[in-house]
Chain A
Amino acid sequence: PSGKMRPLTEMRPLTEEETRVMFEKIAKYIGENLQLLVDRPDGAYCFRLHNDRVYYVSEKILKLAANISGDKLVSLGTCFGKFTKTHKFRLHITALDYLAPYAKYKVWIKPGAEQSFLYGNHVLKSGLGRITENTCQYQGVVVYSMADVPLGFGVAAKSTQDCRKVDPMAIVVFHQADIGEYVRHEETLT
């Protein structure tokens, strides 16, 4: 490592603290399956921070991306999310491909409520199709359509038991990200 200060647009690995914050967030959705993301049998993948965004990238692509100057590099690999100015980690919808297969708690929504969710609204009890047993309140969940297509992810507003008792207009899943954001937030996603 050279003695000169690194400019802010340069790519770098995450520090211990940042890794911990990020893992805690991701573990809310996929739990201990996170180690399958870290330690993969089919290649070395790693997390790199570039312009406050965390990218999950294979070693091969990383070596290629290192040849591009920092201010010209827009994105590499998959963007998992970004660190806010107060160093909190926010998961983006682009991480869904890696969350969906390893999700521990899932929520299926009826076809009628799909559109509402894809527009960014929360899921009401009336739109809830199925929910994994033993979901705790405020647990991270991945939202699927009835055809098992991952639509996004969110946070369970009520536990499974409470879901049965609550009235149909109550919110059961808080919206965090949905695949409609690919169209709505096209400019900000990388």
Chain B
Amino acid sequence: MSLGGAMEGQSVEELLAKAERDEAEKLQRITVHKELELEFDLGNLLASDRNPPTGLRRAGATPEAELQALARDNTQLLINQLWQLPTERVEEALVARLPEPTTRLPREKPVPRPRPLTRWQQFARLKGIRPKKKTNLVWDEVSGQWRRRWGYQRARDDTKEWLIEVPGGADPLEDQFAKRIQAKKERVAKNELNRLRNLARAHKMQVPSSAGMHPTGHQSKEELGRAMQVAKVSTASVGRFQERLPKEKNPRGSGKKRKFQPLFGDFAAEKKSQLELLRVMNSKKPQLDVTRATNKQMREEDQEEAAKRRKMSQKSKRKGGRQGPGGKRKGAPPSQGGKRNRALGGRMNSGPPPLGSKRKGGQHQGGKRRR
């Protein structure tokens, strides 16, 4: 009994000791000893370790283990700091609220260059005009409320008046309301144009203007030509179906600008398209059986020589043209192939139809047959 008890006690003691050791180890893992405290910028989740890296220097060629230990220690310290932050609960997750970041990060993009002054700004600077501070709201008598100085439902909108007196010298049948609306539109368009011009000056671009397009009496030939080109292209089909005068020539520089592939395009796609091109090229070539074609060619030549010899020997009798090889034409059809077949075709068509006896096959086999 006592033995069993002692053993139990020992095991319990062992368990307790083991638990204590585990606790100590955990604490050891959580607490990290550093000579110099780390600097924390929790807003950026940044921890800066200023301790001298003696451990790394000692490690030499393979510092992986030391690096890993260092990283683990520093991360542990950072997380310890994070646990000290005020927490809150957001949708069943415990969240720490980070403070404002203290490190100032460098600029991502370069400093913007100063823009050129607009025309008004140049004029105001010249004249010394300062912007007067005005109130946004004005008292509107008509509606009896405070209205904006400009914009939506402004105080004095002359297009919204319900009664306009016809001015003294104006045509009584003229629509004054339409006149006011038209004037407003023109002012808006002028403002927009000036805005675009200012923008173009700022970006050093050219704004497409109708500068030389209005017909005066004194335009040069080039100006007229340019105006004509613009008018031609200003159709719904961008000038595609415009007729030209009988002797009119194409304008210069009206082609599309060439666009090349990028230098490091998709290499696999390039390879694929080139292989495809090669395949098409190879398939277009006629599939000549070279040996048969050359043998046939040689047969022709031998026959020609034989015919010549016969002609020499028998000057009186002229045999009709040999039976053309057309009947036995194998391999490449007459339309394809190179000089060889063209030459054959010529010979076939030139002679009269064969009158002489058929050539025997044996004669051909008598000729030299090369591989």
Contact = CB atoms under 8 A, between A and B. Distances in A.
A161 B298 contact: yes
A19 B274 contact: yes
A24 B262 contact: no
Given A134-B290, A136-B338, A161-B297, A38 B278 contact: yes
Interface string B61-87: 000000000000000000000000000
Nearest to A34: B278
B152 interface: no
B277 A66 contact: no
Interface of B: 257, 259-265, 267, 270-271, 273-275, 277-278, 281-282, 290-291, 294, 297-298, 301, 338-339, 370-371
B265 A13 contact: yes
B229 to A, nearest CB: 21
A141 B6 CA distance: 101
Interface in A27-45: 27, 32, 34-35, 38-39, 44
Given A16-B277, A34-B278, A44-B267, A133 B371 contact: yes
A160 to B, nearest CB: 8
Nearest to B261: A13
B275 A32 contact: no
Contact of A38 (B257, B271, B298, B301): B271
A85 B194 CA distance: 48
A62 B263 CA distance: 9
A1 B262 CA distance: 6
B271 A44 contact: yes
In order of increasing CB-CB distance, the 9 nearest A-B pairs are: A12-B260, A13-B261, A134-B290, A38-B274, A44-B267, A35-B278, A1-B262, A32-B282, A134-B294
16 contacts: A5-B257, A12-B261, A13-B270, A16-B273, A19-B274, A20-B277, A20-B281, A23-B274, A23-B277, A44-B271, A63-B264, A133-B370, A133-B371, A134-B290, A161-B297, A161-B301
A133 B293 CA distance: 13
Interface residues of A, number: 31
B264 A62 contact: yes
Given A23-B277, A136-B338, A46 B267 contact: yes
Nearest to B274: A38
Nearest to B290: A134
A92 interface: no
A59 B370 CA distance: 47
Interface string A1-23: 10001100011110110011001
Given A20-B281, A23-B281, A66-B263, 10 more contacts: A6-B260, A13-B261, A19-B274, A24-B281, A38-B275, A39-B271, A63-B264, A136-B338, A161-B301, A161-B370
Interface of A: 1, 5-6, 10-13, 15-16, 19-20, 23-24, 27, 32, 34-35, 38-39, 44, 46, 48, 59, 62-63, 66, 133-134, 136-137, 161
A23 B267 contact: no
Contacts of A46: 267, 270-271
B263 A48 contact: yes
Contacts of B298: 161
A11 B270 CA distance: 16
A15 B260 contact: yes
Nearest to A48: B263
A32 B278 contact: yes
Contact of A12 (B263, B267, B271): B263
Nearest to B280: A20
A5 to B, nearest CB: 7
Contacts of B277: 16, 19-20, 23
A2 to B, nearest CB: 9
Contacts of A44: 267, 271
Nearest to A10: B263
Given A16-B277, A59-B267, A1 B282 contact: no
Contacts of B264: 62-63, 66
A27 B281 contact: yes
Contacts of A15: 260-261
B265 to A, nearest CB: 6
A136 B277 CA distance: 24
A176 B273 CA distance: 30
B259 A1 contact: yes
Contacts of A24: 281
A136 to B, nearest CB: 7
